[in-house]
Amino acid sequence: MKQAATTKKPIRRIRRRANANQIPDSITKNIDLIKAISSTLPPDYEFEIFKTLWKIDQLECKHIALQMPEGLLIYATVIGDILKRFCVKGTLTTVSVLGDVTYGACCIDDLGARALGADLLVHY
């Protein structure tokens, strides 16, 4: 009896850049930023301010749009102020709050953000 020769598939190795998604300490350890977040935003919600600031700096955004669910719209201007104030590169000049509320991930208003000329849409 002959046995069928089995061929092994080569192991595919994925190389990732070290620290590819690591938010810099200049953002995460900024004492004034941490104080602003803890004193103005509710602790029950994670708005990912650090990650948002990092993305704004990476893309060098000048104009962003915020889209939020109805219950969180009251924090939109506070979040916008924090993002403008603590943008490390200082490129962010305009924050627009989209008036159409969201009810989940299905209702992303990318057309509205594009019509406003936003470089980035932050969807909460």
Q: Does residue 113 lie within any of the structural domains?
A: yes
Q: Does residue 19 lie within any of the structural domains?
A: no
Q: What pLDDT, on a 0 to 100 scale, did the predictor assign at position 27?
A: 95
Q: What pLDDT, on a 0 to 100 scale, did the predictor assign at position 18?
A: 55
Give the count of beta carbons closer than 10 Å to the beta carbon of residue 103.
Answer: 8
pLDDT in tens, the chain (124 residues): 556 556 666 676 665 555 556 899 999 999 999 999 999 999 999 999 999 999 999 999 999 999 998 889 999 999 999 999 999 888 999 999 998 877 777 788 889 999 999 999 999 8
Q: Does residue 118 lie within any of the structural domains?
A: yes
Total domains in the chain come to: 1
Q: Does residue 15 lie within any of the structural domains?
A: no
Q: Does residue 40 lie within any of the structural domains?
A: yes
Q: Does residue 74 lie within any of the structural domains?
A: yes
Q: Show the DSSP H helices in the chain as ranges.
A: 25-28, 31-40, 49-59, 76-86, 110-116
Distance CA 69, CA 109 (A): 12
Distance CA 88, CA 66 (A): 19
Give the count of beta carbons closer than 10 Å to the beta carbon of residue 110.
Answer: 12
Tell me the CATH number at 78: 3.40.50.11840
Q: Do the beta carbons of residue 117 and residue 98 sit within 8 Å?
A: no
Domain around 113 = 25-123
Q: Does residue 106 lie within any of the structural domains?
A: yes
Q: What pLDDT, on a 0 to 100 scale, did the predictor assign at position 108?
A: 86
Q: What pLDDT, on a 0 to 100 scale, did the predictor assign at position 40?
A: 97
Q: Does residue 10 lie within any of the structural domains?
A: no
